[in-house]
Amino acid sequence: MTVALRRTALCLAAFALVATGCTTKPADSASGGAPKDDASTGGSSGPVTLKDGSQVKLALIPGGAHPYFQPWKTTADTDKTEFKLGGVTFNETGEWDQGKQNNVINSLAAQGYNAFGIFGVSPTDINSTFEDLKAKGFAVGSLASCPAGDTNEADFCLSTDVEAAAYKAAKATIEAIGGEGTIVHLTGNNVDSNTQRRIAGVKKAVAETNGKVTELPVITDIDKDLSTAQKAVADLLASKGKDIKGIVTTAYNPAVAAADGVASSKLPIKVVAIDDDAKILSGIKSGGVAATVTQNPVGQAYVGGWLLALLQSKQCTMKTPGVIVDSGSFVVTKTNVDTYDDERKAKTKALQGEFEKQLSCQ
C-alpha cells in the first residue's frame, strides 16, 4: 500500500517564522485601532498559541501499519505534552481496508476522541468519512494524502505533493546516470490516485531529456510488504539488470528492496529512493544509493495536531475549509545526508506560518 501524498500544498528549530496571517480580536479604543499582539493569538515571535487544549482528544489514524507512519506515534506524544491536550492516540489497525478504518474511527469517536488526523485508505471514498465526522462537530484533517478529485471535505489537507516529489526523484536519477540511459520506476498501488501522480512526475522528468533517457514500463503494486518488493526487484534485475542504468523508487518497500538488491547484484545501477529508512541513509553514505527524497511525517503530525487542536477548541476556524498545503519533500545526497533534517525542521515551522494565513482566531 502506498503512502503519502498529494499535491499542493517536533521540531522547534531556531528559524524565523513566516509572518502570521491569523486574524486577532478587534482592537480596543486604547490601542489606536491596531490589533492586539496577544501571545495567545500569535504574533511576530511565533505561531498561534493554543489557549486551552484540555478538552481536545487527538487521534492520528493511518490506513494501516507502515514504516512511514511511525513518526506519527512519537509526535502524538509530543502534541499531547506541548499543547496540553486532554488525550492522544495513534491507531494503525485499519488493515488498509476503508471499512475497517471507518470502524476504528467510529470506535474512537465513541471513546471521546474529537479531533482526527486521518490518512484515508480509499482516496475516492474518504470524503464521506470526513463528512460524517464533521457532522458530529469534530475537527478533521486529511494527513499524508488528500481525497481524490477536487473536493476535500476535511478542514484541511496536509500532504506531500507526490507528483513534485517523484519529479525531484527522477531528476536526481537522471543526474546520477549522467543524463542518458534507461531507467525504471518502482512504485505502489496502481489504482491509487497518488501512484498515478507519481508516475506522471517521473514521466515529466524523462520527457525533459528529449529522448536521452528512456523509461521501462513502470512496476506497480509492490509496496504491500518488503518481501513482495524484494521478489519484484530480484525478477527485474535477473531479466533487465544489464540494460538498466538507474532505478527510481517512489514507495517505501521498493526503495529498501532496490537498494539491497542492487548492492547484492553488484550491477552498476544508480538507485534513488524515497524516505529515510536507516538502510537508505547508510547506502547514501557508502555510495550504494545515489539519493533519496524524504517527506515530512513529523511535520504532518505536529502541525496537523496543532491545527486540529485550535479548530476543535473553537479558538480558530478555517477561512477556506478544505485548503491543501504541501508538507514538503527534500532531496538527500551524500553532501547533505547529515544535515537534511535541518531543512525539514525549518519547513515544519514555516508550515505553521502558512496555515496561520488560513485561520481566523479569537
The three cell numbers of residue 200 are: 506522471
Residue 261, pLDDT above cutoff 80: yes
* Other C-beta atoms lying within 10 Å of the C-beta of residue 317: 16
Taking residue 92's Cβ as centre, other Cβ atoms within 10 Å add up to 20
* Number of residues written out for the chain: 362
pLDDT in tens, 140-184: 999 999 998 899 999 999 999 999 999 999 999 999 999 999 999
Relative orientation angle of helices 252-265 and 278-286, to the nearest 10 degrees: 40
Q: Which of 12-16, 145-149, 270-274, 342-346 is least confident? A: 12-16
For residue 313, the number of C-alpha atoms closer than 13 Å in the C-beta half-sphere is: 25
Grid cell for residue 324: 491543501
Rounded-to-integer distance, Cα 27 and Cα 37, Å: 10
The neighbour count for residue 44, using CB atoms within 10 Å, is 9
The predicted-structure confidence for 14-62, as pLDDT tens digits, reads as follows 323 222 233 323 333 333 333 333 333 444 446 999 999 999 999 999 9
For the cut 80, the answer to whether the pLDDT of residue 311 exceeds it is yes
Tell which residue, 343, 325, 324, 322, has the closest CA to residue 333.
343
Question: What is the pLDDT at residue 300?
Answer: 98
Query: pLDDT at position 1, please?
Result: 44
Distance CA(73)–CA(83), nearest Å, equals 16
Query: Rounded mean pLDDT of the chain?
Result: 89
User: What pTM does this model have?
Assistant: 0.83
